[in-house]
Every structure is written in structure tokens, then in C-alpha cells.
Amino acid sequence: MKSREFLSALYRAAVAAVDPERLVLEALGRRGDAVYFRSVSAPSRREFVFLPDRIFLLSLGKAAVPMAKAAAQVLERRLEGALVVAPSGSTRDGLPEDFRLLSASYPFPDEKSLAAGDAALKLASQLGSHDLLIVLLSGGGSSLVTAPVPGVSLEDKSQTAALLMAAGAPISDINTVRGVLSRLKGGGLAAAARGGTIVTLVLSDVADGSWHLVASGPTLGVTPSKSEARAILDRYRLTPLVPPSVRNSLLDGSPPHPEPNPSTSRWSVLLGDIRTAIEGARAAAVHQGADVRVIPELLSGEARAAARRLAVAGACAGNLIRRGAGPHRRLVTLFGGETTLAGRGRKGSGGRNRTLALATALQIAGVEGAAALVAGTDGLDNGPDAAGAYIDSTTVARAYEMGLDPRDALERNETAGFFEKIGDAFTPGPTGTNVGDVAFVLAPGSENGFLEPEEEWVIPLPGLS
């Protein structure tokens, strides 16, 4: 098996491990009119059982459609109403006809996001004291539903988020600021309910364990303090740059929304996150006879700076003596997380994964046998054209032979065109899931350092036929 075939197989296994439809079906079930939830990511796999009068469903995020479709299979006639909010271009793909599907913009909200936010708040307000609201959250929900606080326009709120992204702020900081500028986020959706029970199933793209912040925590999050939001803006020196309406709102002592009703019971289940995906890749690598190393520290920070960690794995790890490794076993190092693009890096055509890949390629140039795949689990990297890129020890040399300047492409962040021209773009298409990014790095070694399975081993990508 060639290096690219191996790395692609690991990606497919990682994505399959976080298949949203399968995970919802594992976590949600029915016994007659009773509904139960299973903590699939916890070793105890505890069950929580409810017998509500009515059941409502709200599904938000990049995986909203497959998650809602799975819930419909389980709940059937028990559902009183369902709202699904997905990125623009999403299709019904098997959703029941009575499910309301709204599309909105990602990664920045639009007028459709405002309509979706109003619809979500209206759905929550229907909840009675003996009713159940099931909320299915996945990455991307923050821009798909929005409800700015009075005095702050959608444009001003979007501009503030864009400034934080351009400064390289992690998603947790961005969502904190979003939370204090929203009537829906930071627990605002739960506050709209008059009582009853809210159970949230989360497919998390927040890598540091803060999965209550997915989609800015509409049901789980504790309302962030305005002083915390001001501190974040000060940290990135953005306070003078944000719109005056945002500064005024953060100085106002009133909360963005009331606290949730004490009679509203809130429960949550983590379905999976980037570590779930990495475990899927690890199992696949072992199956193929590779020697595997999983890096527990998640990828973070600016993409160009993070490349050093991948380069060390590619250039040096192959020289380590590893007990139990046969003479032909390849060492693969698995990373997960999410980097950022800061400053001028956000102006070009490439996304963070292709930027990380090219920065790594420059550092492993000439290290014979080193190779890597860097990609987003959603199949996207600043657009639908690619999820990331393959690189190896020859990437830089091949580029120069074609008249391309990799350092200039990295400086201008024109990495999309760069990898397309040299034929190394990784294009699996949208996967229907999203838990962050992966990077799989092969240390130097023989191309024959993998076991060939006895029969063809194929893992399909969720959402693709």
C-alpha cells in the first residue's frame, strides 16, 4: 500500500468514527412512549429515561440534517414538531416532509440566520412543564442561528467575530464574545423555555473539552460575563476596532437574556469529538500493520507556527528505536485539533489546513520518505474545493520544477491554487460531519511497510454514496 492510499484510509476511518447519524442512533432510543438517552462517550454508558407529554426537536450545525434524520427514525410519531437549521446548499436528504428545514450562511451569519434564530426561540417557547426538547448540536451552529441583543446589529456582531478570527482567536474566545452579544447563545435558548426538559446531544468541534460551547452553547452554556468578553477584546487589541454598539453593549451591566427557568431541567450527552476521530484512525493504522503514535496535545495556534510539530514527527520520529516494531513497520503520528489563520493569512484562497500542510512541506523538504495528510473532517478548507492537502519530501522540489514558489504561496496564503496545480489537493467532498482537523504524519521508511489486508478494506465517508 502506497503512502497516500494509507493516509487516505486513515482519514476515511477518522470520519467514519464520527458519523453523526450512527452516533445519534447509538445515543437515542425509545421504549414505547418513553425516550431514553445513552452516554455513548462515557465508559459507564448510563441511560436517562423520560416520559414526556410532547417532544420537540431542534437540530443545528453542519451535521444537522443527518442527525435529525437519525432522530426521526427513532422518535417517529412521538415528535410534535421539528426544526432543522443547516448550511446553505443543504438538501432534505431523507428528512420527513413535516420537518421544517432552514438554510443559513456559514461561517458568517446573514438575514436567513436571523430568521432561523427567531424560529429556534419560538420553538423553545412552546415547551411546557411536561414536554421534552431534544437539541442536536454540531459545529457551525454559531453562524446559522443568530439573535443579537437590542442595539447591536447583525452587521456589527459579524464584524466583531470577523475581527477575532483575523486576530487568530480560538473558537472558544470567539464564542464567548458571541454569547454576550446574543439573546440565543450562552444558554439563551434554554432561557426561552417556560419549563420542561431539554436534552442536548453534541457532536463537538471544540477540541479542548469545552463541548458546552459548541454553537456558542445555546442550551448548555452559562451566560458569559461581559467583563470576560471585554478582556478577550483587550487581549487581541481589538477594543478600539469593534463597532461602537458592541463596546456600548459590553459596558452595559444588563445580561443579554434572563437566566434559564429553574424548573427547566437540562441534560447533555457528548456524542463524539476530535479524539473520537483520532481513535478511529488509530485503529485503522494498527489494522494496516503500522506503528502508531497518538499525540495527546491538540493542534492549536497559528497554522504556520504549528507546522513545526508536524515537521518534527515527519523528519525525526523515524529514527527513534521503538520496541516491538518489525523492520518494515512504518511509524505514523496522529494529530488532531484546529489551528487558526492570523492577519494577512486570512486574505488568500487557502484555508488553515492547506496553510499548515505547505508550511510543514517546507520544513520536511528533502527528508526522504516523510509524508503527511492534513485535512478537515468536514471535507472543507475555506471552501468546498478541498479538505486539505497531501505533502511529502518532494513537494517543494516538484513545485519549483513547475515554476511555482512555495514560500511566496505561503506568504500570500494562496495555498489552494498551489496544491491544485501540483496535484496534491485532498478532495473527499463534504463529509456531513465536523469535529475539527486531523494531521497524519508518516516518518521515513519503506513504502512496503504496511500489511496488505486479505480483502479490499473500504470505509465510506458519511453523507456520500
**182/248 same-domain check:** yes
Where residue 449 falls among pLDDT bands split at 50, 70, 90? low
Is residue 280 located within the same domain as residue 244? no
Residue in the structure block whose three cell numbers are 438554510:
103
Q: Which domain holds residue 289?
A: 3-11+275-442
CA gap 143, 48 in Å, rounded: 31
Domain edge (last residue) among 231, 256, 272:
272
Q: pLDDT at position 315, please?
A: 65
Residues 354, 293 within the same domain: yes
Q: How far apart are CA 308 and CA 300, in angstroms?
A: 12
Query: Does residue 129 sit in the same domain as residue 268?
Result: yes
pLDDT tens track for 371-427:
999 999 999 998 788 999 999 999 999 999 999 999 999 999 899 999 999 999 999
Rounded Cα distance, 257 and 223, in Å: 8
Residues 247 and 309 in one domain: no
Q: What is the pLDDT of residues 310-319, one digit of tens each?
A: 988 876 654 4
Q: Would 295 be classed as within a structural domain? A: yes
Domain boundary among 243, 272, 301: 272
- Say if residue 327's pLDDT is above 60: no
| CA 232/CA 239 separation, integer angstroms | 9
Q: CATH number for the domain including 353? A: 3.40.1480.10
Cell of 244: 461602537
* Cα–Cα dist 285/385, whole Å: 27
Q: Are residues 363 and 241 in the same domain?
A: no
- Average pLDDT of the chain to the nearest whole number: 88
Are residues 194 and 221 both part of a single domain? yes
Q: Which tens digit of pLDDT belongs to each residue from 284-325? A: 999 999 999 999 999 998 999 999 999 888 766 544 434 444
Nearest Cα to 27, choosing from 219, 227, 200?
200
The DSSP annotation for 201-268 comes to EEE---TTS-GGGGGG-TTTPPPPPHHHHHHHHHHTT-TTTS-HHHHHHHH--S-SSPPPPTT-EEEE
- pLDDT value of position 345: 43
Closest Cα to residue 375, out of 292, 285, 310, 295? 310
**Using one digit for the tens of pLDDT, what is the confidence trace for 118-157?**
999 999 999 999 999 999 999 888 889 999 999 999 999 9
Residue 179, domain CATH: 3.40.50.10180
pTM of the entire predicted model: 0.87
Between strands 28-31 and 331-337, the pairing is: unpaired
Number of domains forming the structure of the chain: 2
Position 453 in a domain: no
Structural domain contains residue 449: no
